Structure 1
Amino acid sequence: RQGVLKNISDLETPNLNAALENVALAFDAVEQHRKIMIDRMDVRAKQNLHLYKIILAHKIIILKDELKLRENAVTKETKKQQALEKATIKSGIDKTKISQLELAGANQEVVHSNLALTEHVERFETQKMLDIKSILEEILYSEMVFHAKSLELYSEAKNILQAANIEEDIEYMNERLKFTHEEDLIKKQ
C-alpha cells in the first residue's frame, strides 16, 4: 500500500501529494507497530508457553511420584488390615495389639499421602491457572496496544487527507493548464 500511494502521490498536485505521502507513512507506521507487537508476543507469550510446557512435564512427574507413594501406602494399609484380621482370628492379644498399631501407622501414611497429593494437585492447578491467565493477559494487552496505536495513526491520516486543500490544487491545475495553453499559443505564432 505504501509503495502504491507513494507512486501515485508523485503524480499528484502538491496538497494531494502531501496528504497521500502522510497516509503512506501512517500505513508504514502501522506495519512497524504490527511487527513490534508480533515480536513482543514472540518474546513474552511464546517463550512463556514453551517454559510452561517444560514446567508442566516436571510437575506431572512429581504428581505421578506422589500418586505412587499414595498407592504404596494404600497397599501397605490393606496388608496391615489383613494381618490384623489374621491376628484377631488367632487371638493372640500381643499380636492383635501390634497389628492394630501397625494398621494405625499405615492409616496415617495413607492420610498423609492423600494430603500431600491433594496439596500438590492444588498448587499445580493454581499455578497453571495463574500462568495461563498471565500469558493471555499479555497477548490481549499487546493486541490492545497495537490496535489503539493503529487507530491513532489511521485517525491522523484521515484528518490529514480530509484537510487537503482540493480547491488550492484545482487552482494550481488551472494555472498550469492556462500556462500550457498560453505556451501553445505563443509557439503557434
Structure 2
Amino acid sequence: ERQVKFVQDHISSTENNLSNLHQSFGGYVKKIAKLRNKSDEIATAIYSYSEKESINKSVKFCLRELAGILATVGDCREVQIKNLDVRVVREFGQYDTLCHNAKSEVRNICGAKDREHNRRRHLNRTKAEAEVVKATSEVTRMQKALEEHVDIFEKKKLQDVKLILRNFVMEELSYHARAINLFTSAYNCIDKINENTDLEVIVCFSYLYPFFYRNEITNKKISQCKGVHYLVVYRNALFKKLL
C-alpha cells in the first residue's frame, strides 16, 4: 500500500508540475505574439513615415530600409512562436492526458491486487495451499507490472522534460541569433542618416523658397521638383554673390 501511495503521489506531483510549465510557456508564447503584433505596427509606422517624407532624402531611404528589416524581425518572431507552440507548449500539454492514463493504470493494477488479497482470505482449507500459491504468484505479477509501468512513465517523463526544455533554449538561441544580425543591419542603416545634408536642404528651402520654384513646389511634391538637387549650389552661389 505504501508503494502504491508513493506512485500515485508522484504521478500527481508530476501532473501538477508539468501543468504549471504548460501554462507558463503558453503565456510566454502569447506575450511574444502580442510583441510581434506591436513590432509590426512599428514597422508599418516607420514605412508610412518614409513614404510621406519628401525633403530629407537620407531619412526617407533609411526609414524605408529599416521598416523592411523590422518586418523581417517580425517574420522571425512568427517562426519562433509557431515552433515554441509545437515543440514546447503542446508537448507539455500532452502530460495532462498521460498522467490521467497513468493514474488509471495504477488503479487498475491495485484493484487486481486487492482482489487477489480478498481471494486469499476466503479460501477454504481444502484448497488453501494451492490457491495461496496461485494468489501469491498473481500478487507478485501485479507488483511487477506496477513497477514496470512506473519505470516506463518515469523514463518517458525525464526524456521528454529534457528534450522539451532543450527545444525551448534552441528556439530562443535561433531567434536571437537571427535578431542580432538583423538589428545590427538596422543600426548600420540608421547610421546612414546624414543629418547635415538633410539639414542643409531644409535650410535651403527656408532661404530660397520665396525666390525659386514657387509654382513648381506648390504644384508638385517637393521630392519631384527638378531644382531640389541644386538648392545647395544655388544657396552657395547666392551667398557668394551677396558677399
Partner of 1:120: 149
Give the gaps of 5 or more residues in structure 1. Answer: 88-94
TM-score after normalising by structure 2:
0.58
**Residue 36 (str. 1) matches residue 116 (str. 2):** no
SS of 1:183's equivalent? coil
Instruction: Decide which of 101, 105, 109 is 1:66's aligned counterpart.
Output: 109
Greater Rg over alpha carbons, structure: 1
What's the offset of the Cα at 1:72?
A: 2.0
CA distance in 2 between counterparts of 1:128 and 1:71 reads 28
Of 49-58 and 59-68, deviating more is 49-58
CA distance in 1 between counterparts of 2:144 and 2:195 reads 78
Partner of 1:140: 169
**Residue 107 (str. 1) matches residue 136 (str. 2):** yes
CA distance in 2 between counterparts of 1:184 and 1:18 reads 24
CA-to-aligned-CA distance 1:76-104 (integer Å, 9 cap, x gap): 34445xx5xxx5xxxxxxx5xx6344323
What's the offset of the Cα at 1:117?
A: 0.6
CA-to-aligned-CA distance 1:3-52 (integer Å, 9 cap, x gap): 32123333251212222222222221122222222222333334434544
Instruction: Decide which of 23, 28, 36 is 2:66's aligned counterpart.
Output: 23
Aligned partner letter, 2:77: R
Q: Which residues of 2 match residues 142-161 of structure 1 at below 5 A?
A: 142-161=171-190
The percentage of aligned residue pairs carrying the same residue is: 20
SS of 2:212's equivalent? helix
User: Contact between 2:58 and 2:192, CA under 8 Å: does it hold in 1?
Assistant: no
Aligned partner letter, 2:190: L
Partner of 2:49: 8
The count of corresponding residues between Structure 1 and Structure 2 is 171
TM-score after normalising by structure 1:
0.71
User: Contact between 1:45 and 1:135, CA under 8 Å: does it hold in 2?
Assistant: yes
Tell me: higher relative CO, structure 1 or 2? Use CA pairs within 8 A at least 6 residues apart.
1
Partner of 1:90: none
CA distance in 2 between counterparts of 1:78 and 1:128 reads 38
CA distance in 2 between counterparts of 1:168 and 1:78 reads 100
Root-mean-square deviation (Å): 3.0
